[in-house]
Amino acid sequence: MNPRRCAVYPGTFDPITNGHQDLIRRAAGIFDRVVIGIAANPGKAPLFTVEERVALSREVLAELRNVTVFGYSGLTVDFAREQGCGIVIRGLRAMSDFEFEFQLANMSRHLARDIDYVFLTPQEQFTFISSTLVREIALMGGDVSEFVHPAVAAALQGRKKA
């Protein structure tokens, strides 16, 4: 496949939210193949293991035929090359995301000139959703069913009792 037709969407996805899903649907309509890369990211001390995050994301994205989900560790640009993808997708919710994403994209370009970053914005009702907020609300007993797939809400519920 032409690497320009294949996009990697990297993130922690701890857990996957309706905001991530909105971006993935958009990307799946633009590119021939979309690979969700779930970064192990031990530095972020995730709530769910990388295996759990991959399994949840696969369940949530099951009906999208051109989307696949893998865990990875190491550099995102190396993961993209391994997958044969020349594009990396990132999301912009607000100006507050811009500075970090801009820096990351420029650093990446220095590491890998063959990979380009493409930024997508979600529909406005998803702009305030982050995995961090969803985790905090769920663990304090709040209702997150508006922000995540039912399978994710159930997994968060299970984590609360654990």
Catalytic residue among 93, 108, 135, 149: 93
Helix/strand/coil for 89: strand
Sole binder of ligand ATP in the list 48, 90, 144, 148 (CB under 6 A): 90
Is residue 77 a contact point for ligand ATP (CB under 6 A)?
no
Measured from the CB of residue 9, what is the shortest distance to ligand ATP in angstroms?
Answer: 7
Strand residue runs (E) in 43-115 = 67-72, 87-91
CA distances (Å), origin 33, targets 25, 68, 70, 88, 96? 11, 8, 13, 12, 29
Number of residues that bind ligand ATP (CB under 6 A): 18
CA distances (Å), origin 15, targets 44, 97, 115? 13, 18, 26
Residue 73 annotated among the catalytic residues of the structure: no
Q: Which is nearer to ligand ATP, 4 or 100 (CB)?
A: 100
**x/- letters, 31..70, toward ligand ATP (CB under 6 A):** ----------------------------------------
Q: Which two tokens stand for residue 28?
A: 């799946």
Q: Are 123 and 22 in contact (CB under 8 A)?
A: yes
Q: Which is nearer to ligand ATP, 14 or 72 (CB)?
A: 14
Binding interface with ligand ATP (CB under 6 A): 11-14, 17, 19-20, 23, 90-91, 93, 97, 122, 126, 129-132
